[in-house]
């Protein structure tokens, strides 16, 4: 079984401040991990992903995430928030093996950027 | 352009009137899935399909049907919609061949359904 927990359904940061969105996962097999972003009235867009190799993953729009196996975490960060980063962010996990290839999503974190 | 196309984008219907939401992808993906998104609950899987004629239930399949007669199409059918099916629906696809699991999903733009 696999699950994803996102801490904080709403996060507010000032423009230019650090963005930190938290994600913890549980998985019985080594997972693939993803962050998706959803802008208002749009579908979800892949922001970045961890598969294998380097644990620090860089994505689009200046975001990055670090896979920490010992902490079962995959937190999303951005050094300096921009107004255009206001959106909802979803962490997701998928097993890297097995016939059932479901992606399990967290409940999402809405990011508000204050001017 | 590689994409997943859902139609319609918005739909208001009455309780009990059968409806179909279409989903089509042009990436030759084997795996397709339907999710519903509700505030505070994130995305919950309704049904998925590993390939043509292979479908299975997700976490919240009650009240829904799907079919996969062609690789590119995966329609979602609500035979007797009820107000608790008012939601935002997403279709998604991904490859399943070697390395495909690491691709994540490509999502459609969503269908906002209101059942009155």
pLDDT (tens digit per residue) in A13-28:
999 999 999 999 987 6
Q: What's residue A26's pLDDT?
A: 86
pLDDT per residue as tens digits for the range B46-98: 999 988 998 999 989 999 999 999 999 999 999 999 999 999 999 999 887 65
Look-up: residue for tokens 């997701």? A92
Chain A interface test: which of B1, B46, B105 (most A C-beta within 10 Å): B105
Mean pLDDT (chain B) is 92
CA distance, residue B8 to nearest chain A CA (Å): 14
Beta strands in A1-115 (DSSP E): 2-7, 10-14, 19-27, 31-38, 44-50, 56-58, 64-68, 73-78, 87-95, 104-105, 109-114
pLDDT per residue as tens digits for the range A74-111: 999 999 999 999 999 999 988 766 555 678 899 999 99
Look at A101 and B101 and tell me if their CB atoms are within 8 Å.
Answer: yes
**pLDDT bracket for residue A38 (50, 70, 90):** very high
**pLDDT bracket for residue B105 (50, 70, 90):** confident
CA distance, residue B81 to nearest chain A CA (Å): 23
Q: Residue B99 pLDDT more than 80?
A: no
A36 to chain B: which residues are within 8 Å by CB?
104, 107
Tell me the CA end-to-end span of chain B in Å, nearest whole number: 36
B102 to chain A: which residues are within 8 Å by CB?
32, 49, 51, 96
Q: Quick one: which of B83, B88, B105, B81 has its CA closest to B39?
A: B88
**B78 beta partners:** B19
- Which strands form B19-25's sheet, in the order they lie side by side? B4-7, B19-25, B76-78, B65-66
Does residue B43 contact residue A105 with C-beta atoms inside 8 Å? yes
Look at A105 and B90 and tell me if their CB atoms are within 8 Å.
Answer: no
Q: What's residue B97's pLDDT?
A: 63
């Amino acid at each position: 079984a696999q699950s994803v927990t996102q801490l904080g359904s709403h996060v507010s940061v000032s423009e230019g401040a650090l963005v930190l969105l938290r994600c913890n996962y549980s998985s019985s097999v080594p997972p693939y991990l993803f962050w998706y972003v959803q802008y208002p009235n749009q579908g979800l867009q892949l922001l970045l992903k961890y598969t294998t190799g380097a644990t620090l993953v860089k994505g689009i729009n200046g975001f990055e995430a670090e896979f920490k196996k010992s902490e079962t975490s995959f937190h999303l960060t951005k050094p300096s928030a921009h107004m255009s980063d206001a959106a909802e962010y979803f962490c997701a996990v998928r097993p890297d093996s097995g016939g059932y290839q479901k992606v399990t999503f967290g409940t999402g974190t809405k990011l508000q950027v204050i001017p | 352009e590689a994409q997943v196309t859902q139609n319609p984008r918005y739909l208001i219907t009455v309780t009990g009137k059968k409806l179909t939401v279409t989903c089509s992808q042009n990436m030759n993906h084997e795996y397709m899935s339907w999710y519903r998104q509700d505030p505070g609950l994130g995305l919950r899987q309704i049904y998925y399909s590993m390939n043509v004629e292979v479908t299975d239930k997700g976490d919240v399949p009650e009240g829904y049907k799907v079919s996969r007669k062609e690789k590119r199409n995966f329609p979602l059918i609500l035979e007797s919609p009820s107000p608790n099916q008012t939601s935002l629906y997403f279709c998604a696809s991904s490859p399943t061949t070697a390395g495909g699991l690491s691709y994540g999903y490509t999502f459609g733009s969503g269908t906002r359904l209101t059942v009155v």
